[in-house]
Amino acid sequence: MKTNSWFREKILLGQDFKDYIAGLLTPWNLIVGIILILGIYALGYRILFGFGPATNLTNEYPWGLWKTLNILAEIPLSAPGLAIGTAVYLFKVKDYKMFARPAVLASLLGYVFGVLTLIFDLGRYDRVLYPFVLFWGLESVLFLTAWHFFLYILICFVEWFPAFFEWVGAERARNLFAKLGVWATALGVIITGGHQAALGALFLIIPTKLHPLWYSSLLPVFFLVSAVFAGIAVFIVQATITYKVYRNQLVNFNYKEFHRRLLSLSKILVVVLVAYLLLKLLDLAHYNKWKYLFTPYGYWYLVELIGFVVIPIITLIIGIKAKWVKWVQLSAFWVILGLILNRFNVGLIAYRWYIPLSQKYWPTWMEVAFSLSMITWAIVVYKFIIKRMPILKH
């Protein structure tokens, strides 16, 4: 009986099992359910029949949507957890304390589900532990990336455990992990920088296969800096949504204070965006790439750079000056789209730009379904946890 009521209190939030299930039947959840089911179907199909029938991956395009969206884009977008964690736990920035736990949780889930996607993107997912145990390709950037992912997920767990044990009611474990968390954060700073840059460095080895406008010896720096600004942008958007949706969970939530913090964060966002823009211009000038600008790929490059870097800089500055929080939040969203676009450009569009358009990669519906379902899972689990564990109100 006792466990039963525990289950009821902690998992079902005090409802009856029947009521709980009935409460789940909303139109929104229906869509979520369909995505998840299609994703499971796609995964099953990929496992049973292989990449050939399930995906559009070819020898020309060995990396498709799963690597681009769920790793190249999702990993930088999951970065904020650690940045905020560092600010709060290492530098004692009290202002952002209330944000730390949701950010860490989002980060953890982003990585876990990104890596799960990656595992099924391996031809031999059964060997996923090989690079950790059996065979070490020490010269490979991918090796560094794999190890860093692994360590980072561990770190996120350590940082998330205090909330978890608080929820379970294990006081001692909670305190232990709260202490460990500080060390984990310190290690995490190193790890994050390393693998965000490494994702860009993966492409350093193909100077002839990536369009010169995107190929640069600065690729790792670009990836790192863009991960920073995207992280801040995600943070702004995530905080906005979370605090809107879960307003009822928060007592004495001070909106003025919240908006003031968002505005001051977006100042940092502008600074990083400007730094990124300057680096991009330096890259254009140093390698004298101007001549590529007036080609179809050049126009596309300008769309990315002007549309998704310059414009948000301008709108953000306007927003900060006028203290329009909505405007800032929308700009942050725009910045996130820009990062996704950039990763797609590097990973797919500018990759082997010289092959005819007809042979370019285009994902199958199953690739799309699996990709989206993994992101959906992350959101579902995030919601599940945030409703139950002391993430927001602590």
Residues 340-359 within binding reach of another protein (CB under 8 A)? 351-352, 359
37 near another protein (CB under 8 A):
no
- Residue 44 lies near another protein (rule: CB under 8 A): no
Least CB distance to another protein at residue 250 (A):
16
Tell me: does residue 187 bind another protein (CB under 8 A): yes
Beta pairing partners, 351: 210
Please compute, for residue 390, the number of CA atoms within 13 A of its CA located in the half-sphere on the CB side: 12
Close Cβ partners of 326 (under 8 Å, ≥ 6 residues apart): none
Q: Does 23 bind another protein (CB under 8 A)?
A: no
Is residue 42 involved in binding another protein (CB under 8 A)? yes
The CA distance from 304 to 308, in Å, is 5
Q: Which of 57, 54, 109 is nearest to 79 (CA)?
A: 109
What would the two tokens of residue 43 be?
């995964």
Q: Rounded to the nearest 5°, which phi and psi values hold at 187?
A: -65, -35
Counting contacts by CB under 8 A, is residue 28 touching another protein?
A: no
Q: Quick one: which of 251, 291, 321, 365 contacts another protein (CB under 8 A)? A: 365
Contact 393, 250 (CB under 8 A): yes
144 sits near another protein (criterion: CB under 8 A) = yes
At how many degrees (to 10) do helices 171-201 and 219-245 cross?
Answer: 140
Q: How far apart are CA 150 and CA 157, in angstroms?
A: 11
Task: Let me know: does 64 contact 363? Beta carbons within 8 Å.
Answer: yes
Choosing from 7, 91, 255, 384, the residue that interacts with another protein (CB under 8 A) is 91
The Cα angle at residue 162 between residues 240 and 157, in degrees rounded to 5: 80
Tell whether residue 318 is a contact of another protein (CB under 8 A). no
Q: By CB under 8 A, which span of 1-9, 72-80, 119-127, 307-315 interacts with another protein?
A: 119-127
Residue 73 sits at the vertex; the CA angle it makes with 294 and 221, to the nearest 5 degrees, is 65
Shortest gap between Cβ of 189 and another protein (angstroms)? Answer: 6
Cβ proximity to another protein: between 198 and 237 the closer is: 198
Which one among 30, 37, 205, 282 touches another protein, defined by CB under 8 A?
205
Sole binder of another protein in the list 83, 103, 141, 236 (CB under 8 A): 141
Residue among 14, 23, 123, 169 that touches another protein (CB under 8 A): 123
The reply on whether position 43 binds another protein by CB under 8 A is no
Q: Note whether 32 binds another protein by CB under 8 A.
A: no
Complex with another protein: residue 131 or 307, whichever CB lies closer: 131
CB of 12 to another protein, least distance (A): 27
The answer to whether residue 95 forms part of the interface with another protein (CB under 8 A) is: no
**One-letter amino acid for residue 223 of the chain:** F
Residue 367 has a CB neighbour count (10 Å cut-off) of 23
40 binds another protein (CB under 8 A): no
Distance CA 71, CA 90 (A): 27
